[in-house]
Structure 1
Amino acid sequence: MATPLRVLVHGGGIGGLTLAVALARRGHSVEVAELREQFDALGVGIIQPSNALHVMREIGILEDCLAVGFEWQVLTICDPAGNPVAKIPQPQMDGAPANNGIPRPALAQVLGRAAADAGATVRFGTTVADLSDDGEGVDVTLSDGSTGRYDLVVGFDGIGSPLRTRLYGDRFRPEYTGFANWRVTLPRRADLEGVLMSTGNLAAKALLTPITGELMYLGSVFAEAEDFRPDPERAHEQLAERLADFTGPIAEALAQITDPATVVYSRISQVTVDAPWHVGRVALAGDAAHASTPHLAQGAAMAVEDALVLAQELDAADSVPAALQAWEERRRPRAMFVQSLSRAILKQETGTPTTPEEDELLTIGIPGAAHVLVKPY
C-alpha cells in the first residue's frame, strides 16, 4: 500500500516489537501498547535459529543480536553421562548464521531500541480497554483513557491474549500439555560451544544452551501436575531430584545451583486458533494465535516471521483486509507444522501415545525440521 497506515500493536514482546520495527521502517505510523512499565522481559534465554536471525537481518538488527548473544553451529547429543553420541551441524539460511543463543532481557532491549530508532511509539503501562471495528478503521480506547483510530490492530499479546478473548471469548483458551519447563541461568562452561542435549533411556532430557560468552542455561522438561509449583525454599533440590540419573556436564551444572530463587519454572501450554487469525482489521499473531511447546525452539521464530511477513503483505496488497488474508495463507501452514511436530516430539520423548498423524510427522524429526525451516518463509 502506498498510503502510510496507522497501526496499533498490542504487546511489546519479541513479535510485537519486530512488527513495530518492520512497519515503522516502511514509513507507517506505529504505536505499541505494552502492559509492562519497561522492557524487562521475563525468563532466561532463548535460541534464535537461522530463520529468526534472517528476520533480524531483514529489519536491520542482526549484528546487534549477535553482539549480545552467543553464535553457534553444532548441536551435540550426549548420553546421560555426557559422552558425545553425535554432533549435528545446523543448517542456515542465506545471509544468517545457524543459531544464536541470547538472554531474553538483552533481546528485548535490542528490539526496544530499534523500535524507537525507527520512529515507533511505545506506550508502557497500557492495554486495550475497548475497541470498535467499523470496517474502515478501528476505534480504540486504551487503559490510560486515551483514544485513537487505527487502520490495523495486531495482537502480539501472548498465550493469554486479551485480544483473542475479545474476538473469540473462551473458544481458544490455552491448553496445558501436562508438562513444564525448568530452567536456570549459570556461568557458561568454557567448553560449551553450542547446545548440548543429554538424553538416553530416560523419561527426561536436559540441555545446556550458551546465551552469552559468560552465561548458559540448563533446561529440562518434565511431566507435572497442573497445580504443581516448585517449593520456593527447595526448587533447586526438586530439579536435582528430577535429573538425578544424569552425570557429567548436567550434574556439574546442577551442583552450581544453590539458590532456589534462580530456578525458573513455567508450565507448557499451547494455543490453536482454529478460526481466522483476523476478524476485520484486528489480527492475532505469535503465541496469541499459535503457541507451541518448545521442542523445536521455534516459538519466538514463528512470531518474528509472522511480523515480517505481515509487513511484506501490507507492502504488496491494495487493502488491509487483502493483506491480512494473504498473510494468514502464508503463515498458517508453517506455524501449524511447528506446533504439531513440537507437540509430537514432546509426546514421543515422554512416552505418551501418539496419533498416526504424529507418527508421520516424527519421521521428519528435529534435524529434518531444521532443514524444512531454513527454507523461505
Structure 2
Amino acid sequence: MASPLRVLVHGGGIGGLTLATALARRGHTVEVAEIRDRLDALGVGIIQPSNALHVMREIGVLDDCLKAGYEWEILTIADPAGNTLARIPQPRMGDVPSNNGIPRPALAAVLGAAATAAGATLRFSATVTELHDDGEGVDVTLSDGSAGRWDLVVGFDGIGSPLRTRLYGERYAPRYTGFANWRVTVPRQARVDGVVMSTAGQDGKALLTPITDELMYLGAVFAEKEDFRPDPERAHEQLAERLTAFSGPVAEALATVNGPADVVHSRISQVTVEEPWHVGRVVLAGDAAHACTPHIAQGAAMAVEDAVVLAESLDAEPSVPAALAAWEARRRPRAMWVQAMSHAVLKQETGGETTPEEDELLKIGIPGAAHVLAKPY
C-alpha cells in the first residue's frame, strides 16, 4: 500500500512486538496495547529455531538475541539415565544459526526496545473494551479510557485471546490436550551444549535447554488432570515425584532446585480457528489463531513468522482486506502443519493412538520437521 497505515496491535508478547517493529520500520503508525503493566514475560526460557532467528534478522535484532542467549547446533537424544543415543546436527535457514536458547524476559526486553526504537508506541495496562468496524476503519476504546480509529487491528493476544472471543464467541476456546509442561531455570551443565531430550514413554518427557552460558532450563511434560494445579508450597517436590524415571543430568539439574518459587507449570492446550482468521479489518495471529503444543518448539516461531509475513503482505497488496486474504493464504498451511506435527509427536511420545495422517507425519520426525521449517516462510 502506498499510504502509511494506523495499526493497533493487541498484545505485547513476542509476536505483537515483532509486528510492531516490522510495521513501524516501514513507516506505519503503530500502537501496542498490552494488558500487563510492563514488558515482562512469564515462564523461563524459549528456543528460537533457525526460522525464528531469520525473522529476528529481518527486524534487526538477531545479534541482540544471540548476545542475550545461547547459540546451539546439535540436538542430543538421550535415554532416561542420560546416556546419549544420538547427536543430530540441526539445519540452518540461510546464514543464521540453527537455534538460540534465550530467557523469556531477555527476549521481551530486546523486542520491546526494538519496537520503541522503530517508533511504535507501547501502552500498558490497556485492553480493548469497545470495538466497531465500519468497513473503512475500526473505532476502538481501551480500558485506560483512550480511544482511536485504526486501519487495522491485530490480535496477538495469546491463547486466551479476548479478541478471538469478541469475533467468534466461545467456538474456538482452547482445547486441553491432557498434558502439562513444567519448567524451572537451573545452572547449565557443561555437557548441555544444546537441547538434550529424554523420553520415558508414559512416564513423561524431560528436556534440558541452554539459555545462557550460565543457565539452562529443565522442562518436563506429563499427563495431568485438567483441574490440577501445583501446590505453591511444594511444586518442586511434585516435579521431583514426576521425574523419578529419570537419572543422570536430569536428576542433577533437579537437585539444584531448592524451592517451589521458580517452578512454572502450564497446561498444554491447542487452538484452531477454522474460519478465516480475519473479520473485516480485525485479524488474529499467533496463538490467538493457531496455538500448538510445544513438541517441535515452533509456537513462538510461527507467531514471528506471522508478523513479518503480515508486514510483507501489507506492502504488496493494494488494500487491507486484500493483504489479510493474501497473508492467511500464505500462513495457514504452514501453521496448520506445525500444529498437526506437534500434536502427533505428543501422542507418539506418550503412547497415544495415532491416525494414519499422523503416522505419515511421524515418518518425518522431529529432526525432519526442523529441515521442513528451515525453508522459506
Shorter-normalised TM range:
over 0.9
| 1:6 aligned onto 2:26 | no
Aligned to 1:220: 220
Partner of 1:52: 52
Cα deviation digits, residues 96-144 of structure 1 (max 9, x gap):
1100000000000000000000000000010111111111111111111
Q: Give the superposition deviation at 1:201.
A: 5.1
Contact 1:203 1:351 in 2 (8 A): no
In structure 2, the residue matched to 1:103 is 103
Paired residue type of 2:75: L
- How far the C-alpha of 1:203 sits from its partner, in A, is 3.0
Shift of 1:180: 0.1
Q: Find the counterpart in structure 2 of residue 210 from structure 1.
A: 210
Residues 290 and 339, structure 2, Cα contact 8 Å, conserved in 1: yes
Q: CA deviation at 1:163?
A: 0.4
The answer as to 2:303 corresponding to 1:303 is yes
The aligned residue for residue 319 of structure 2 is 319
What does residue 375 of structure 1 align with?
A: 375
Secondary structure of 2:321's counterpart equals helix
Task: Tell me, in whole angstroms, the C-alpha distance in 1 between the residues paired with 2:24 and 2:260.
Answer: 42
Give the whole-Å Cα distance in 2 for the aligned partners of 1:47 and 1:93: 15
Distance (Å, rounded) in 2 between the aligned partners of 1:140 and 1:240: 47
The answer for unaligned runs of 5 or more in structure 1 is none
Q: Determine the C-alpha separation between the residues in 1 that align with 2:370 and 2:320.
A: 32
1: CA distance, partners of 2:353 / 2:201: 17
Confirm whether residue 193 of structure 1 aligns to residue 193 of structure 2: yes
Q: Can you list the C-alpha shifts for 1:29-85, whole angstroms capped at 9, x where unaligned?
A: 000000011111110000000000000000100000001000000001111111111
Alpha-carbon separation, structure 2, partners of 1:12 and 1:96: 25
Partner of 2:330: 330
Give the secondary structure class of the aligned counterpart of 2:225: coil
Aligned residues of 2:200 and 2:245 also touching (Cα < 8 A) = no
One-letter code aligned to 1:2: A
How many Å apart are 1:354 and its aligned residue? 1.3
Equivalent residue, structure 2, for 1:342: 342
Matched, 1:274 2:274: yes
Question: Which runs of no fewer than 5 residues in structure 2 stay unpaired?
Answer: none
Q: In the TM superposition, what are the counterparts of 1:106-125 in structure 2 within 5 Å?
A: 106-125=106-125
2:360 and 2:82 mapped to 1: Cα distance? Answer: 30
User: Which residue of 2 is the match for residue 94 of structure 1?
Assistant: 94
Partner of 1:180: 180
What is the CA-CA distance between 1:2 and the residue it aligns to?
1.2
Aligned partner of 2:119: which letter? G
CA contact (8 A) 2:55 2:308 kept: yes
CA distance in 2, matches of 1:87, 1:244: 24
1:157 paired with 2:164, answer no
Number of aligned positions between the proteins: 377
Aligned to 2:32: 32
**CA-CA distance at 1:246 after TM superposition:** 1.1
Deviation at 1:372, TM superposition (A): 0.3
State the match for 1:73 in structure 2.
73
DSSP 3-state at the match of 2:36: coil
Distance 2:200 2:223 in 1: 17
Counterpart AA for 2:334: R
* CA-CA distance at 1:355 after TM superposition: 1.4
- RMSD (Å) for aligned C-alpha atoms: 0.8
Off by >6 Å, runs of 4+ in structure 1: none
Deviates more, 1:328-337 or 1:347-356: 347-356
Q: Which residue identity is paired with 1:312?
A: E
Partners of 1:60 and 1:293 in 2: CA distance: 28
Question: What do the CA deviations read for 1:138-192 (whole angstroms, capped 9, x no partner)?
Answer: 1111111111110000000000000001100011000000000011100111222
- Assess if the C-alpha contact under 8 Å between 2:12 and 2:34 holds in 1: yes
> Which secondary structure does the structure 1 equivalent of 2:203 belong to?
coil
| Structure 1 CA distance for aligned equivalents of residues 44 and 127 of structure 2 | 25
Q: Secondary structure at the match of 2:245?
A: coil
Q: Report the CA distance between 1:199 and its aligned residue.
A: 2.5
Aligned to 2:258: 258
* TM-aligned CA deviation for residue 95 of structure 1: 2.5
In 1, distance between residues paired with 2:349 and 2:198? 12
Q: In structure 2, give the amino acid aligned to 1:42.
A: L
1:76 touches 1:88 (CA, 8 Å); kept in 2?
yes
- Residues in 1 aligned to 2:181 and 2:290: alpha-carbon distance in whole angstroms: 18
CA distance in 2, matches of 1:190, 1:356: 41
User: 1:355 matched to which residue of 2?
Assistant: 355
Task: Find the aligned partners of 2:243 and 2:301 in 1 and give their Cα distance.
Answer: 29
Q: Give the aligned partner of residue 284 of structure 2.
A: 284
- Tell which deviates more after alignment, 195-204 or 268-277: 195-204
CA distance in 1, matches of 2:197, 2:179: 18
Paired AA for residue 51 in structure 1: N
Report the Cα offset of residue 236 of structure 1. 1.1
